[in-house]
Every structure is written in structure tokens, then in C-alpha cells.
């Protein structure tokens, strides 16, 4: 094979299905991840025949997934709220309660962070993208991506410290 | 501090991918669907476009699943998904054929992977040879309008993208020898024996 060619879509789907699902579970939660997953790959398939063969396929499909996740967040009409206020929302209260019993799941808290911090953390730790790749996906500088990640982690650390006292 | 990525259930992503692929085929978003089909002549890879069946490949003889799909992607489109349900009608017809309950195939064909001109005429002539009958490379060349081109006729039949359904196994050498076959001579013999030849 002399020049790069796009693999048959099925092979692309099989190669990245776990990465995309993991990112979406982190980004929108398990309940909405299934639909977002299907929308991601159906959108990818529509654009696929026109894609350049030397594209970074993983980064490309995660960028589509990120846009689908944004749609979910917009549809929920959920403006970023501090976790302290989440307890006013019935669904969020249930989720927070679940978190109290499963300290490993920080993602519900991540989803409540302000948009940019939420996105950077889900792309960094849910999709294992580098800060440079995240900067490309979000159209910001690498430095801004690092800063948002650090701010998000700081907020999370603070909340996690506060939880035992308030629970 | 870093965050552990969410855990997935075993098989969760694969099941979701399969549902997505089926939907892509049903809604016509995928240009091409394929399935793997077990048969008495070995594992087959069957490929359909929106217009019809475009490819039947012997998985082993034709280089394996990846090579078969790479070829289709290159020549038709990379928008290919695995969607077994889309190929159920063909699978049923193949089962009936191998059980001796079917003498010709009714599924729509897409000739997109055949060469144009003489080669395509040869294959279309070949498609007319009835179940249980045989012809020769020479007769195929004559029927396709170039009586001297029996070698070229053999070449066209050898690269038949739709073996079994377009029955190139029914074409023999004028001497009565088996000639060649895209799936190997053993399979040619087996197909002819299914047809009582």
C-alpha cells in the first residue's frame, strides 16, 4: 500500500467504539451515552467518504462525540451549577446520593462543573486526549486547556473535601 | 490528582456498535453492508450496496475479511458497515440452494464491481446458464460476441465478483476439464455435485 487509505468504516467503528463510549459516559452520563454514541458514529459515517485519508481518526471522532455531548448538555438546559446547589434538583440529588456511596465516581461532579472545565476534564481523563489535542478540539490555546483542567481539578478536590462534612 | 476513566461493562461498546451499524444500514446512511455467512463451501463474505448484492467472496481464498473489505472500500466506498440483517434474504436463498431447494437466485444484483465491456457481457451470459447445466469458456466468448477471446472470457469469469449466484462454476474447458475457479477447484467440484453434475 503506497498511500494512506481510509479503512472500511466498520473497522474504524470497532477500533474507536470503546474510546468514544468511555468519553460519553464521562461527559453525559450512562443514561444519555447510548443515544449520543449512535449519533456520533452516524454523523461520522455521513462525513466519512469525504474525509482525508491521513486524518487523525481518533481525534476526529472524539471531536464529533464532544459536539454530541454539548447537544445533550444544551438539551438538558442545565446551566453549570455549583455542586452545592445541585441538591435542590431531585435527579441531581439522587445522583449525589449515589456518589456518596460510590466515591470512585467523580464524573457526576465533573458534569456539574462550568462548561470549559467540564469539557477539558472529560476530554483529558475520559478520552485520554493530550492538552494539545484538546486545545485543537476546543479552539483554544494549549495553555488555556491546561488552566481549565487545573481549575476543574481544584474545584473537584475542594468539593470532595467538603462532602463528608455536608453529607 | 487525576480522574480514573469510567469503567465499561464487558461487551457494552461492541453491542452498541452493532446496533449503530444496523441502524446505519437500515436508514441508508451506510452505502454498503456486509455479513459473514457459513456455507458448505466455507465462510463467505457477502456485500450489498443500496442497489443490490455486489460481492460474494470466499473468505479464505480471497485473502481474508480485511483484504476483501479493503478492496470494496477502494473500488466503491469506505462507508461500509457489518449489518447481517440486511443480508438475510440472500442468506436464506443460499441456505435453500445448498439444501437443494433452490435452482436460481432472486436477489437484486449490483454489477458495480464487474469490469465494463466484454468482461461484463461474459458474466451476464454466464448468469443465464441454468442450474445443473454446464457451458465452456469458448461458448461464453461466442455468446459475449468475441468468439476468439476464450482466454479473456476465462479471465472475466476468474474475477467474477459474484460467484455461486453468477454461476461461473458451470463453465468448463472445452476438453471437459474443470478449468479454474475463484474459490479453488475443490469448491467448483462441490458446487457442481450439489447440482447433480
> What domains lie within chain A, and their CATH numbers?
7-77 (1.10.1740.10), 82-167 (1.10.10.10)
Residue A136 CB neighbours (<10 A): 16
Residue B20's closest CA among B73, B65, B76, B83?
A: B83
Between positions 12 and 31 of A, the ones with CB within 8 A of B are 13-14, 17-18, 20-22, 25-26
Q: Which chain B residues are within 8 Å of A156, Cβ to Cβ? A: 1, 3
Cβ atoms of B166 and B104 within 8 Å: the answer is no
Domain boundaries B15-98, corresponding CATH code: 3.30.160.70
Q: The complex's ipTM?
A: 0.93
How many Å apart are CA A95 and CA A97, to the nearest integer? 5
Radius of gyration of chain A (CA): 17
Could you tell me whether strands B80-82 and B53-58 are parallel, antiparallel, or unpaired per DSSP bridges? unpaired
Given a cut of 50, whether residue B2 has pLDDT beyond it is: yes
Domain ranges of chain B: 15-98, 114-194
Q: Which chain A residues are within 8 Å of B74, Cβ to Cβ? A: 5
In this prediction, residues B106-130 reach a mean pLDDT of: 94
Span A133-164, pLDDT tens digits? 999 989 999 999 999 999 999 999 988 777 65
pLDDT at A30: 92
Q: What is the mean pLDDT of chain B?
A: 95
pLDDT at B29: 97
Q: Which fold has domain B114-194?
A: Arc Repressor Mutant, subunit A (1.10.10)
Least confident range from A105-119, B58-72, B74-88: namely: A105-119
Task: For chain B, report the end-to-end CA distance as a whole number of angstroms.
Answer: 74
Residue located via cell numbers 490528582: B1
Span B145-182, pLDDT tens digits? 999 999 999 999 999 999 999 999 999 999 989 999 99
Length in residues, chain A: 167
pLDDT at A76: 84
* DSSP secondary structure code for residue B109 in this structure: B
Amino acid at each position: 500500500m503506497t498511500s494512506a487509505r481510509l479503512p472500511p468504516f466498520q473497522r474504524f467503528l470497532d477500533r474507536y467504539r470503546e474510546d468514544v463510549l468511555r468519553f460519553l459516559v464521562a461527559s453525559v452520563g450512562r443514561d444519555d451515552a447510548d443515544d449520543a454514541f449512535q449519533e456520533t458514529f452516524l454523523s461520522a459515517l455521513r462525513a466519512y467518504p469525504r474525509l482525508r485519508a491521513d486524518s487523525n481518526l481518533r481525534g476526529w471522532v472524539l471531536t464529533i462525540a464532544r459536539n454530541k455531548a454539548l447537544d445533550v448538555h444544551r438539551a438538558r438546559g442545565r446551566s453549570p451549577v455549583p455542586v452545592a446547589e445541585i441538591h435542590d434538583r431531585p435527579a441531581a440529588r439522587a445522583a449525589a446520593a449515589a456518589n456518596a456511596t460510590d466515591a470512585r465516581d467523580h464524573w457526576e461532579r465533573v458534569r456539574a462543573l462550568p462548561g470549559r472545565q467540564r469539557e477539558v476534564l472529560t476530554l483529558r481523563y475520559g478520552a485520554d486526549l493530550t492538552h494539545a489535542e484538546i486545545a485543537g478540539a476546543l479552539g483554544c490555546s494549549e495553555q488555556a486547556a491546561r488552566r481549565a483542567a487545573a481549575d476543574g481539578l481544584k474545584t473537584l478536590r475542594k468539593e470532595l473535601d467538603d462532602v463528608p462534612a455536608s453529607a | 490528582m487525576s480522574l480514573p476513566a469510567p469503567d465499561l461493562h464487558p461487551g457494552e461498546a461492541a453491542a452498541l456498535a452493532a446496533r449503530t451499524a444496523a441502524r446505519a444500514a437500515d436508514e441508508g446512511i451506510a452505502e454498503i453492508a456486509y455479513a459473514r455467512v457459513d456455507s458448505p463451501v466455507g465462510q463467505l463474505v457477502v456485500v450489498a450496496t443500496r442497489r443490490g448484492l455486489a460481492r460474494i467472496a470466499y473468505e479464505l481464498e480471497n485473502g481474508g475479511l480485511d483484504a476483501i473489505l479493503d478492496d470494496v472500500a477502494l473500488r466503491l466506498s469506505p462507508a461500509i458497515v457489518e449489518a447481517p440483517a440486511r443480508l438475510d434474504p440472500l442468506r436464506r436463498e443460499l441456505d435453500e440452494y445448498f439444501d437443494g431447494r433452490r435452482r436460481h437466485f432472486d436477489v437484486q444484483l449490483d454489477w458495480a464491481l464487474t469490469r465494463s465491456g466484454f468482461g461484463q457481457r461474459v458474466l451476464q451470459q454466464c448468469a443465464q446458464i441454468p442450474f445443473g447445466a454446464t457451458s465452456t469458456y469458448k461458448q461464453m466468448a461466442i455468446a459475449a460476441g468475441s468468439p476468439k477471446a476464450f482466454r479473456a472470457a476465462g479471465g472475466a469469469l476468474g474475477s467474477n465478483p459474484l460467484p455461486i449466484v453468477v454461476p461461473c462454476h458451470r463453465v468448463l474447458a472445452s476438453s471437459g476439464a474443470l478449468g479454474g475457479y475463484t474459490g479453488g477447484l475443490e469448491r467448483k467440484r462441490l458446487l457442481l455435485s450439489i447440482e447433480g453434475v
